Amino acid sequence: MAQAGSHSAAGQMTGYLYQCELALVELARHSWDEPTIEVRMEVLDDVEFLYAATAEPHELLQSKHREKAGRLSETGEDVWRSVASWIDALHTLDCLSAGTMPLLRLVTTQVAAEGTFLNQLRPGTGRSVPDALARMEQIAEADRPATTADDRKKFTALTPSQRYRLVAAIEITDGSPLMSDLDSTLARTLGIRPGEHAPAILDDIKGWWYGVAVESLDKSRARASVTAQELQCRLEEITDRYAGKNLPITETARRLTAAEIAAYQDDLVVAQMRWVGLKDRAIAAYLRDYHHARAQRSQWLRTFKITEEGLEGYDRRLWDEWDHVFARHTDPIEDDTPDTERRAAGKRVLNDTMDKVADLPARPGSTTEGWIGRGTMHSLAGRPRAVDDEDAVGWHPDYPDLCQNHYDEPRDA
């Protein structure tokens, strides 16, 4: 175990955690006015906000956490490393000389003293870009301190017009909450009211956030950013789970047309039903559930009523119900069990599973429609899979082999 002292990494670790949680707080703040904004971390800066429509950064944010409050130094590393980082990012964006500049924010737990250029770059009536620029040029051209010499040199290497554009884009947000105070700030920003479930809701949000933060930091994975809409959807999903709020049912289950039924005939979902001996009338009824459940799930996702992770959790609960039923009905099946008994066992798996999942809601504690659970279960049975897929779903005792044969069969052109 590391000992506290000069070699302790506790402060550095706190800084990384602060950056991660501050990104969540800032995304929550933006979400009230800019629901389409996205946040990403460690690309051009510590944290950046951008709009999906343009893919151009709207704001680059540097976070600095210091346990000891005190003054933010004009000559310190926190400030000049941030300035150097912004210059590098703006060179990458090619907007130092022309074009739209992003907002450059330094969020720090320390305080900018009166009379410093840091204080002059705070938002509000006291802001003065010309005065701040003159003071920054004076400090940048000084011989000391040596610890910031390279960073200050990047600033002095800019043309006068570039320096002005840079300084005009900088905003100092000082006196920000310490790491220990971020929870209360986050709760207020998200609009989580104090109450019995408030701590649990906040814990769930933060647990989700750390998960997606790890995904976004892993550049080999698909997730590059997180949207404000996704955050709001997750918050509503968690809050509604504690309140037992129902997901809206916007689909009306109707009979499918002959053309709609025919469109599914070559799909695995229908093959699974035929392998256990279902006839056309029963298949049509289940296809109605399948068709409308898929449409309802898609609508929930499009309108941010539930997240993809929320639906994946629902699918796992359905799978668990199926797994118990499948094990119970197929356990007596032996290698020499006749085909008729195997099909009969598969039909019992199907029927009992449908009864089990009909009352299982997509959001725990809410009400549901039976066709959502039944239709989702058929979606699970209709997903393409490998023969050894442990998450596979089927009705017939031999469905893994039957599925493989289904994919191996030649299809009409």
* pLDDT (0 to 100) of residue 81: 95
Rounded to an integer, what distance in angstroms lies between the CA atom of residue 334 and that of residue 345?
A: 12
| Residue 11, amino acid | G
Rounded to an integer, what distance in angstroms lies between the CA atom of residue 327 and that of residue 203?
A: 36
* pLDDT (0 to 100) of residue 247: 83
Q: What is the DSSP string of 251-301?
A: ----PPPHHHHHHTTTSHHHHHHHHTT--HHHHHHHHHHHHHHHHHHHHHH
Eight-state DSSP code of residue 68: S
Per-residue model confidence as pLDDT tens digits over 280-314:
999 999 999 999 999 999 999 988 888 888 899 99
For residue 54, the Cα-to-chain-centroid distance in whole angstroms is 20
Q: Which residues contact 12 (CB under 8 A, 6 or more apart)?
A: none
How many other C-beta atoms can be found within 10 angstroms of the C-beta atom of residue 34? 14
- Residue 363 burial by Cβ neighbours in a 10 Å radius (0-12, 13-18, 19+): buried
Eight-state DSSP code of residue 71: B
* pLDDT (0 to 100) of residue 243: 74
* pLDDT (0 to 100) of residue 340: 95
Nearest 5 degrees, angle CA 212-CA 215-CA 217?
110
Instruction: Pick out the chain residues at pLDDT < 50.
Output: 1-8, 413
* pLDDT (0 to 100) of residue 388: 61
